[in-house]
Structure 1
Amino acid sequence: MNSMFSKVFLTLLCCASFTGFTVQAQTTKTLENQQSVAVPSEKLPITPEVKIGQLENGLTYYIQNNGKPEDKVELRLAIKAGSILEDDDQVGLAHFMEHMNFNGTTNFKKNELVDYLQGIGIEFGADLNAYTSFDQTVYILPIPSDDPEKLNKGFQILQDWAGNALLTEEDIDDERGVVIEEYRTRLGAATRMQSKYLDKIAYKSKYADRLPIGTKENLENFKYESLRRFQKQWYRPNLMAVIAVGDLDVETLEQKIKENFNGLKNPENPRPREEFGSENHKETFVAIEWDEEATGSQVQVYYKDKGERKKTKTIQDYRDNMVEGLFTEMINNRLNEYTNKPNPPFIFGFSYHGGIIGNKEAYQSIAQTNETGQLEALKVLLEENERVKRYGFKASELERAKKDYLARLERSYKDRDKRESNRIVGAYIQNFIDESPIPGIEWSYNYAQIELPNIKLEEVNGLIADFLHDDNRLVVLTGPKKEGLKKVSEEEVVALLNDVKNADIDDYVDEEVRSDMMAVKPAKGSVVEKETLFEGQINEITQLTLSNGSTITYKKTDFKNDEILFEAFSYGGTSLYSNEELKETASANGGLFEAGIDGISKNEMTKMMSGKIASVRPYIRGNDEGMRGSSTPKDLETMFQMIHLYFTKLDKDPEAFASYISKQKAFLGNILSNPNISFSIALGKFLNEGNPRYTGFPTEEDFDKANYDLAYQKYKERFANAGDFNFYFVGNIDEEMLIDLAETYIASLPGNSTKEMYKSFPFRQKSGDHEFVYRKGTEPKSQVNLIFSGDATYNEKEARAISALGEILSIKLIEKLREEEGGVYGAGARGSISKIPYGNFNFSISFPCAPENAEKLANASIAELEKIIKDGPTEVDMDKVKKALLLSRKDELEQNRFWLSAIRSADYNQSDLNNVVNYESNINALTTDDVKAVANKYLKGGYIKAILLPEE
């Protein structure tokens, strides 16, 4: 369950607001009949896919039939009530109320709800969840639609959430500890710094005092009646919406909503649901905060709008949003170019106009930089804004932005019938909460095709004049506080604001780039063998052997209309480097791909790829090297060309590498000051003590010593023989085209029959009984890691059993540590057995908690594990895990990403792909004895207890 500090920034199609509530969805007209360009004042349509209704008590509902995934309905209960509505005695109770809906309702007494849902395969946290923000609370419940009893229970749960929480004194007191532990997880430098400038973002606004998580003091001491009063006042049907999207007919879903929610009553004389804004200010506010534990440095500039957010009611409003979207695309293209230059002024920088808090919007420019580069980063952000204000964008920039804008819309349009239900519900939630538009992707794509060509450069250029102003402005700088580092002063910031305003700034030069990635195609190789690997249950998988020795394995699917995913690997990786070569290249390998290919730099590549969706990213890891990528069917050849060029013509660019090193060192910044990160790094060193090949987390000195020449040489060696690579493609594949492209761009690569293998080394991480205590940080928070590991002979059945053991123990840890002890917000266990680079097992338990509880909860965790070692898990818990695994797999079987991973992993691990076909029978065959056996075999030989504690 999540407390959200800021509103989620949705895509352009979702973030603009829609007109006042409409009870019944309008029918979308065709654009030809609509005359949208000629009638800009016409209201936006509502997608005909959704049925919107309202009960007599004011509850709104959104219903859509959607068959992906099969046999599942995504249910949401959205409430227009969040922390902003809390009275002074209720701080943090909107979020606390969310917790209580999982801890005792009319139909599900304490813990029965989670227990029931786990019993039908729905995982707490992963599937079942909720979140609270300033202005809304949303409950999330996916439920099977092919079982009437489960469906009825799902709606009963939503009904209970809507107003049937019991809120007993005992349940409230039991939950205080859990919510305080969630509060504890948020403590740290970012929270401390934010608390000092939030009142400047939300100037003279209640928002500044209503962070959803609340205060520790009030969470510990609030009166029971304060929580009950919040529920009575705000959990009412006229502030609620039920969203139901999934594989069930609309009529049935509508009837379920009416049966379960018609009986809800609004309170007599309901308290008005106020809207809260923030005031304008004439001066420029400057907030400069630093903290000993801040991990990095950031610059933010807010030009706050003087009025409230303009809602998107008409077609003209929607067109205005398109213009703003093009502006955002172009300004960020310019800022992105800086990150690829030598000595870049920031790690990343971006600008956009959007919401900041409540109903207030602002034009915002943000950058992350190194600890001494805040003023330089601020200068670049300000200068780019000023450059656009003086000179505007270029026509060539606008054309590229239009192509990219339309390409993204086209992809969504082509996949409009392949959207998963959980990707649809969000737009309806936002339509209810803030009237965001829902015209539908079909209307949006058709409208963009017609209207994008009519958007003039002058329109886009004119926006920034309204965005930039000297009043209602805020500059926020945050970063680390440490010896020898000078803090930027407010006077320096104000002086820079004035200097840039009066500076001589040159116009932007948009350099032309070549139009073709590969002007001349390579001489074709050939397919020497074609073999069908699998048929029937998992559909056909085909393997090609090419004339240079490469193999291509592909699976044609219809899961997405506009998606093809790609991977390739070859054994070897850095395991074939000497110890010295490994150390010299470990911090350099990531920088290899900052260079371009065949003389095309990264900035030029961005321009060249306008209107195309294709990407390829090589890698070199410990035991293998390879590539990952994706494309649309239309841009498949572009992806193949990139594959070919990364094998043959990766550029060597010392300036690009220097830029990479600069960004990495800036990113490192003060990262070790973060207690959790520092603990993780120190634990890694402890576990690998004595390992001559351990490189660990890089330092600035490591980056200074990174050997680019050697890394580039080794890359060329690793990718010299394409015949040693296996290539994988999954998606909406045209087989004839794929074979032609494979012969052209992969079979033509240099290759032979030589096959390499990764090398395994004798060193093993620490295992058995050890204790590692690490002190870092000032906040009262700890992290506990319990680690079991050692050599093992890989066995597929045991691998399944130890993984299931992790899932079972996670259930027991939540029951014991969270629900019974109230000592953690979350806890989990994970187990695995691997065969590469050598047979080994790993089992871990981890959770954050209060320092004073670390030992007690660690011991309680081991006690829960020992129960399983002694008696095995219960059949009930075993059944919960099996159902969750099978329910998850049912969804995975309809995903390209899953199949790509499964096919590649079968080859990589030299395992049987039939395990995918036999997954259900293999899981159902698991017994409590199997789990007990692996627990006894692997988890009785001692463990490493690693605990992070705050400094004394």
Structure 2
Amino acid sequence: MPNSPYSSAIKSSTPAKSLIASLVLLAVSLPLSLPALAEIRLNDPIPINPDLKMGKLENGLTYYIQKNDTPRKKVELRLVVKAGSVLEDDDQQGLAHFTEHMAFNGSKHFKKHQLISYLQSIGVKFGADLNAYTSFDETIYILPIPTDKPAYLKTGLQVLADWAQGVEMKAVDIDKERGIILEEARLGKGASDRMTRQLLPEVFNGSKYAERLPIGKEDTIKQFKHDALRRFYKDWYRPDLMAVVVIGDVQPAEAEKMVRKYFSGLQNPQPERARPEINIPKNTASKAMVITDKEASNNLLMLRYPLEKQPAHDVIADYRQDIIRGFYKSMLNRRLGALTEQAKPPFLGASAGNEQVVAGYDSFISTAMLSQAGIQPALDALMQEKNSIRQFGFTATEFERAKKIEAREYESMFNERSKSNSATFAAEYIRNFLTNEPIPGIKNEYLYFKEFADGISLEEMNRFARQATPDDSVKLMFYVGSNKAGETVPSTEDLLAMAAKAEQQAVQARVEKAASASLMTALPKAGQIVTEKENKQLGLVELTLSNGVKVTLKKTDFKNDQVLMSARRAGGLSMFADTDYFNSYYSNPVVWGMGMANFSQKDLQETLAGKSANVRTSMDNYSESIAGASSSSDIETMLQLLYLRLTAPRRDEVMFQTLINSQKEMARNNWARPEAVFSEAITTTIYKDNPRVPHQARVEDFDKISLDRSMEIYQSRYGSAKDMHFIFVGSFEVDKIKPLIATYLASLPNTDIKTTYQDLHIDPVQGVVKKEVHAGNEEKSTVVLSFNGPSTYTREENGRFHAMVDILNLKIIDVLREKQGLIYSGGMSGSFERIPKDRYSIDAELPCSPENVDKVIAALFAEIKKLQQSGPQAEDLNKVKQSWLKEHQQELLSNENWLNHLQNAIYYKTEAESILTVEKRIKAITPAQIKEAAQRYFNFQNYAQIVMYPEQKQEAK
């Protein structure tokens, strides 16, 4: 459900909250045909999704099984254990997470290394597909399995059963895993971790949660006795605390039989240890806390109001209340977002509303990313909006807009119900098991919204708002930021005084102006479609328009309500001199931030409420691009946005200056991060002082941007559609989209401009170049190795090249991580550059401890040289091929993949039909070809090596 925890089609299993949304997707209602709604009684229990087979075995294990065909020939398996770090004894801190690691180190049916190797052989990638995570209250194991053969699903369920109660926990494997987990802990260290550890005792008000970070304590990880780990596994890995989730291309009855076969034998321990409920005490007085760190990348202010037990979600009346709660949160955050468009915004971004803190508890939390304006303006703005809502509520205009937006979200969810990804359903059922989140199913959720939304009055909405919005009573205030020279850091007394002052300010009722009813008051004079031809092999319709613009249409049924658009043309930043670099590089964000025609960005959002359409433009060194997306019913809106974006950019000095100021602040903050210092060192080492290579932004860069010149550059490129070739992929009717194309694309200006590129000579350094960088307080290093050189691109060579890279990634996991314990994560990537000339690049990034830098480099070089001398093992090449073949099966059913493929074929002037021969090319790759590729692409006389060490190592020299 939009803005609630219910949605199976909207919310992911590990949602990430962002302070500043980069793009707002807005949508409109679709006419839908639904069966008549049976009488809904508010006191009735919320039902269970009728498509779901849910049950419980005699031993207490819960299972969720559902047939779902997206993606095809694949099933998502999950083992959910209602046991996390909060259940650890004092001698077990970190062992919930350690237990998760041991599940991959040998079990009853899969010896050490055998499990990962087998799964890779059937196309399952370690890390990308096969994964797990541990939190305070739960541990989740993630296993996607292909269903090409019945044996795969049986083996997958056997794997889950082994994780449940068949992990071996051999002493030698436990001791070896200590190093890998310490590397994982090292990877997480930095300003955020240091500040979080100071925050937690206050956030959790002294409860056990504050003492049980899932990563644990390093001393415990190094020294714990083996039996402490085995005790945690025995106590808490038991069927009455477990759920098995099976969602995908399966027959539910058969899957249920297999679940019973593999999991009925699991036993609960005797005696059974009671799972405690961890209570978090309420704060009784307001308190402030100031935490600073010189590596903090942002100055943040957070107000957390008293923790409350999460409300019940048992009966349909609770669902109706959650609809109201969703309206409330969306309207509040739109108010806060609008404040960032002021001439002097009070903050860079802000959010507010009830958030889950841990399972069972939530709290009203307001957060602001501070600007140069400082703390008081941010507090004033947060309090003004909060208290204005308490006193005056929301306006009728706001409420009607929120209803439109939420209605479109629900209808999008409903339209895509048969194409929702299995992993999304799995995430919803996991939440049901852990927190009793209702699972009525997409159809019921949509019907409930249609039934209830119109009946919620503004008066009822505002009664809820007054109750939901906290007063000025007990709160926790946190200032988290840097302590750089020149920064004014408040005291705790300062924070409380500023909050009290903000609470006393006069409150004003919001005044809402009516939004424009449409984007365009008059349509452009339509052009014509002058030629049309069909490519039956690929299912394409190819059009030429009267202004010379070309269009390729591919109608698909991969999604029920998605249309994607793109166009790309040669030119880009290469058309402008070095002196115009910043004006050209930032021309798109500058123009985007000011809106279009007579619409500011806020105006656009209001006018587009209830619609799903967006368009973006972008420019790289050698090309300029347009990308768009819409629902099937909002194609015209997308094309109107495109037309206005290209023909009517808006000039707004206030918004321009707001953008420049916010970018300066973010650049200033960014340089506190050791990662930013290291990234800049990588760029300058490989490309020296080339002015055309994007560097880490500096504050002074933004003084070089001129509003007028940026707009002039933008208009010089996007003001003409010459040589543009648009592609549309998705759920549209060809006959219905053609008149829209004639109106909005055939009418675009086509003035004569250069549509070629100029070689900017961005050439990497040659020879062996080594650089040490010293940044950051933590004892952590990162090794970056970069190989590059001239190449000759062909599709066949591209396959051999990337197979070589992926084989080395298998070795990085197997040798550097599993066998030698030198790293926790890291890997290698490679790419071909075809414009302005054929080149290749291969980059490896490997985080490790400073004392292991040389070992890591030596180990990777040894694997590369083995590949050069002996070629790959046949089983490794087969693993890569199987993974690619599985991916290709899914890509053939993806609008995004088809759009990308067709765009590349047009831009690089290659045959689009090559998508039909991918499988043949994959199967044709041989070990001998990989060996030759390794010899060709890894030149040990030509590479860059950049290593980051901590600052203190530099001081010791």
Q: Say yes or no: TM over 0.5.
A: yes
Question: 2: distance between equivalents of 1:516 and 1:936?
Answer: 60
Match of 1:865 in 2: 864
Shift of residue 31 of structure 1?
8.9
Q: 1:501 to 1:14 in 2, by over 3 A?
A: farther
Aligned partners of 2:6 and 2:428 also within 8 Å:
no
Deviation of the 1:65 alpha carbon: 0.8
Counterpart for residue 680 of structure 2:
681
Give the structure 1 partner of residue 20 of structure 2. Answer: none
Cα shift at 1:340: 1.8
Q: CA deviation at 1:434?
A: 1.0
Residue 24 of structure 1: aligned partner: none
Preserved contact between residue 302 and residue 362 of structure 1 (Cα < 8 Å): yes
Aligned to 1:67: 69
CA 590–850 in structure 1, closer or farther in 2 if over 3 Å, else same: same
The more displaced of 666-675 and 211-220 is 666-675
Give 1:567-606 correspondences, 5 Å limit: 567-606=566-605
Structure 2: which amino acid aligns with 1:412? M
Give 5+ residue unaligned stretches, structure 1. Answer: 1-7, 18-29
Q: Distance in 2 between matches of 1:481 and 1:12?
A: 41
Q: Is residue 246 of structure 2 the alignment partner of residue 237 of structure 1?
A: no
Cα distance, 1:909 vs. partner?
Answer: 2.2
1:112 Cα deviation after fit: 0.8
Name the residue aligned to 1:139: 141
Query: Counterparts of 2:303 and 2:701 in 1: how far apart (Å)?
Result: 33
- Residue 5 of structure 1 is matched in structure 2 by none
2: CA distance, partners of 1:903 / 1:31? 40
- Residue 387 of structure 2 contacts residue 471 of structure 2 at CA under 8 Å; is this kept in 1? no
Q: Equivalent pairs: percent with the same residue?
A: 36
Q: CA deviation at 1:895?
A: 1.2
CA distance in 1, matches of 2:280, 2:683: 47
Residue 25 of structure 1 is matched in structure 2 by none
Amino acid in structure 2 at the alignment position of 1:336: G
Matched with 2:842 is 843
| 1:562-581: CA deviation from partner (whole Å, max 9, x where unpaired) | 11111112210110101111
Counterpart of 1:735 in structure 2 is 734
- Equivalent runs, 1:368-383 vs 2, <5 Å: 368-370=369-371, 373-383=374-384
- Which has the higher mean CA deviation after the structures are superposed, 935-944 or 331-340? 935-944
CA distance in 2, matches of 1:789, 1:100: 38
1:3 is aligned to: none
How far apart are 1:164 and its partner, in Å? Answer: 0.4
Deviates more, 1:452-461 or 1:405-414: 452-461
Q: Contact 2:6 / 2:438 at 8 angstroms: preserved in 1?
A: no
Q: Please state how far the C-alpha of 1:586 moved relative to its aligned partner.
A: 2.8
Q: In structure 2, how many angstroms separate the alpha carbons of the residues matched to 1:642 and 1:117?
A: 46
C-alpha displacement of 1:452: 0.4
- Asked if the contact 1:676–1:783 (Cα under 8 Å) also holds between the matched residues in 2, the reply is no
- Report the CA distance between 1:372 and its aligned residue: 5.8
After TM superposition, the structure 1 = structure 2 runs for residues 792-811 of structure 1, keeping only pairs within 5 Å, are: 792-811=791-810
Answer with 668-677 or 771-780: which moved more: 668-677
> Which string of whole-angstrom CA distances, capped at 9 and with x for unpartnered residues, describes residues 457-502 of structure 1?
2222223433313444111111111112110122222122222222
What's the CA shift for 1:805? 0.9
Question: Does structure 2 conserve the Cα–Cα contact (< 8 Å) formed by 1:572 and 1:756?
Answer: yes
Q: Which residue of 2 aligns with 1:927?
A: 926
1:199 counterpart letter in structure 2: P
CA distance in 2, matches of 1:423, 1:647: 37
Instruction: Please provide the CA RMSD for this pair.
Output: 1.8
SS where residue 480 of structure 2 aligns?
A: strand
TM-score normalised to structure 1 length: 0.95
Aligned twin of 2:110: 108
Q: Which amino acid aligns with 2:893?
A: E
Are the structure 2 counterparts of residues 58 and 593 from structure 1 closer, same or farther at C-alpha, using a change threshold of 3 Å? same
SS at match of 1:304: coil
SS in 1 for 2:333: helix
3-state secondary structure, aligned to 2:559: coil
| Superposed CA offset, 1:835-877 (max 9, x none) | 1122101012111000110111111111111110111111111
> What is the CA-CA distance between 1:34 and the residue it aligns to?
4.2
1:143 Cα deviation from its structure 2 partner: 0.9
Give the 3-state SS of the residue equivalent to 1:724 in structure 2: coil
Structure 1 SS opposite 2:344: coil
Correspondence for 1:311: 312
Corresponding position: 1:551 with 2:550? yes
CA distance in 1, matches of 2:937, 2:797: 10
Is 1:917 aligned to residue 910 of structure 2? no
Q: Cα offset for 1:617?
A: 1.1
1:146/1:688 CA distance change after superposition, 3 Å: closer
Task: Encode CA deviations 1:526-563: one digit per residue, 9 max, x unaligned.
Answer: 11111223x34xx4022111110111112101011111
Aligned to 2:692: 693
> Which structure 2 residues correspond to residues 437-586 of structure 1 after superposition, within 5 A?
437-466=438-467, 467-533=469-535, 535-536=536-537, 539-586=538-585
Distance in 1 between the 2:598 and 2:270 partners? 72
Q: Are the equivalent residues in 1 in contact too, given 2:432–2:438 (CA < 8 A)? A: yes
Partner of 2:813: 814
**TM-score when scaled to structure 2?**
0.95
Aligned pair 1:35/2:39, yes or no? Answer: yes
SS of 1:786's partner is strand
Which aligned pairs between 1:218-257 and structure 2 lie closer than 5 A?
Answer: 218-257=220-259
- 2:703 equivalent to 1:712: no
Deviations 1:280-320 (A, max 9, x none): 12111211111011011111111124x41122001111111
Q: Which structure 2 residues correspond to residues 603-614 of structure 1 after superposition, within 5 A?
A: 603-614=602-613
- Aligned equivalent of 1:723: 722
Contact 1:588 1:707 in 2 (8 A): no
Q: Measured at CA, do residues 695 and 820 of structure 1 come closer, stay the same or move farther in structure 2, by a change above 3 Å?
A: closer
1:265-414 pair list within 5 angstroms: 265-305=267-307, 307-370=308-371, 373-414=374-415
The 3 A distance-change label for structure 1 pair 149 and 427 is same
Letter in 2 for 1:78: V
The offset of 1:763, in angstroms, is 4.2
The separation in 2 between residues aligned to 1:896 and 1:14, in whole angstroms, is 21
Kept in 2, the 8 Å contact 1:12–1:321? The answer is no
Query: How many angstroms apart in 1 are the aligned matches of 2:588 and 2:450?
Result: 42
Give the equivalent residue in structure 2 for 1:648: 647
Instruction: Work out whether residues 284 and 470 of structure 1, in 8 Å CA contact, stay in contact via their aligned partners in 2.
Output: no
- Structure 1 Cα separation of the partners of residues 752 and 534 of structure 2: 22
How far apart, in 1, do the equivalents of 2:370 and 2:626 lie?
A: 29
Structure 1 residues 138 and 930: alpha-carbon distance in aligned structure 2, compared to 1, 3 A threshold: same
Q: Deviations over 1:247-270 (max 9, x none)?
A: 111111001101100111111121
Are the aligned partners of 2:298 and 2:370 in contact in 1 as well (CA < 8 Å)?
yes
- Does the aligned pair in 2 maintain the 1:304–1:360 contact within 8 Å? no
- Aligned counterpart, 1:53: 55
Check conservation: 1:688, 1:766, Cα contact below 8 A.
Answer: yes
For the 8 Å contact 1:277–1:358, the answer to whether it is kept is: no
Aligned partners of 1:15 and 1:530: how far apart in 2?
38
Deviations 1:587-641 (A, max 9, x none): 4542221111111111111110111111111112211112111100111110000
Match of 1:205 among 200, 204, 207: 207
d(CA) in 2 for partners of 1:442 and 1:15?
11
| Paired residue secondary structure (2:419) | coil
CA contact 1:67–1:246 (8 Å) conserved in 2: yes
In the alignment, the residues of structure 1 paired with residue 372 and residue 601 of structure 2 have an alpha-carbon distance, to the nearest angstrom, of: 26
User: 1:186 is matched by which residue type in structure 2?
Assistant: G
Residue 942 of structure 1 corresponds to 942
Per-residue CA deviation, residues 810-829 of structure 1 (Å, 9 max, x unaligned), is 11111111111111101211
Q: Displacement of 1:354 after TM fit?
A: 2.4
Q: Give the whole-Å Cα distance in 1 for the aligned partners of 2:517 and 2:3.
A: 34
The answer to whether 1:760 aligns with 2:764 is: no
- Letter matched to residue 320 of structure 1: Q
Change in 2 beyond 3 A, CA 1:708/1:598: same
Pairwise CA distance, 1:916: 1.0
Confirm whether residue 770 of structure 1 aligns to residue 769 of structure 2. yes
Distance 1:476 1:443 in 2: 41
Kindly state the Cα deviation for residue 912 of structure 1 after the two structures are TM-superposed. 2.2
Structure 2 Cα separation of the partners of residues 607 and 370 of structure 1 = 25
- The aligned residue for residue 80 of structure 1 is 82
Contact 1:344/1:663, CA 8 A, preserved across alignment? no
Shift of 1:209: 0.6
